[in-house]
Amino acid sequence: MKKIIVPVDFSEHSEFALEAAANIARKHKSELFVLHMLELSNAIISADNESLNEEATFYVKLAEQKFEAFLDKVYLKDLKVTPIIKHFKVWREVNVVANDNGANLIVMGSHGASGVKGAIVGSNTEKVIRHSDVPVLVIKHNPILLDFDNGVFASDFSEEAIRPYLNAKVTFGKIGAKMHLVYVNSPDGNFRSSAEIDKRVSNFLKKADGHLDNMANVHVVSDYSIEKGILNFSNTIGADLIAVATHGRKGLAHFFEGSISEDVANHSTLPVMTFKI
């Protein structure tokens, strides 16, 4: 976890994300790339008109000034921090910045489903999750005493969930969190008998790990929905972190099928980390 991207809009929730990222960076000697995206149209950016060019320059300079104050934090002392300004807001661009810089993690703040809208909060957090190839850690609150001792990885134990499971397993090991695996048996199209679940989980672990040593860490819970089951189980065991796999669906497929990972990220009070399938 050598390089971490932190998208910010200079809001309070962006500060939460920055502090959380700084805590992780200090433990793992990571470099922080703090990213701000300006809401400038292509017309302004590519204009030959002098007044429009001056407008673009003004907003860049303003962002640079905001960065100077925003990054003046005690918790950033002695950390390597690189500010990045992008000219316009395209959410896949966060993933491009992450890939270009070889980042291992994106940390961002979110208001969740509060109805409050901003540049890097609420529904825009979902857009970053959808486009990201690297894990995304969503922070909701002030990360004082942020320690990841117990983490929940929610899975349907399908074959396509093997890669995110293995990635989550490595990440949990790096941050020192015990992994609790959970399968939610719910009536919303995911219900299976106990025998079917046991067979599904054992086949999954054999393919993923080559053994069944992790079987003792698998928990099967029943709830009205997968999202409720994940959140209720996490609260029951006193989890510090929830991890989920995401398809990164876009367009109509996303609209009709929805995304459990985005629902959990929106409604959980705990930090949520997503891993792309």
The answer, yes or no, to whether residue 24 has pLDDT greater than 80, is yes
Q: What is the mean pLDDT of the chain?
A: 84
Residue 159 lies in a domain: yes
Q: What is the mean pLDDT of residues 8-32?
A: 92
Residue 145 lies in a domain: no
Which CATH number goes with the domain that contains 47?
Answer: 3.40.50.620
**Tens digits of residue pLDDT in 99-115:** 999 999 999 988 755 43
Per-residue CA distances from 41 to 53, 64, 83 (Å): 12, 19, 21
**pLDDT value, residue 260:** 78
The answer, yes or no, to whether residue 236 has pLDDT greater than 90, is yes
Instruction: Give CA–CA dist 137/246, Å, rounded.
Output: 13
Per-residue CA distances from 270 to 74, 81, 142, 152 (Å): 24, 26, 11, 11
**Tens digits of residue pLDDT in 118-146:** 444 456 777 788 888 999 999 988 876 67
Domain boundary at 119, 139, 159, which? 139
Cβ count near 115 (within 10 Å): 7
Residue 144 lies in a domain: no
Global confidence as pTM: 0.85
Query: Is 8 found in the same domain as 132?
Result: yes
Looking at the structure of the chain, the number of domains it has is 2
The answer, yes or no, to whether residue 32 has pLDDT greater than 60, is yes
The answer, yes or no, to whether residue 42 has pLDDT greater than 60, is no
Q: What is the mean pLDDT of residues 233-251?
A: 85
Query: Which residues form the domain of 128?
Result: 3-139
Instruction: Give CA–CA dist 94/33, Å, rounded.
Output: 11
**Cβ neighbours for 193, distance < 8 A, ≥ 6 positions apart:** none
Q: Where residue 88 falls among pLDDT bands split at 50, 70, 90?
A: low
Domain boundary at 139, 165, 185, which? 139
Query: Is 210 found in the same domain as 255?
Result: yes
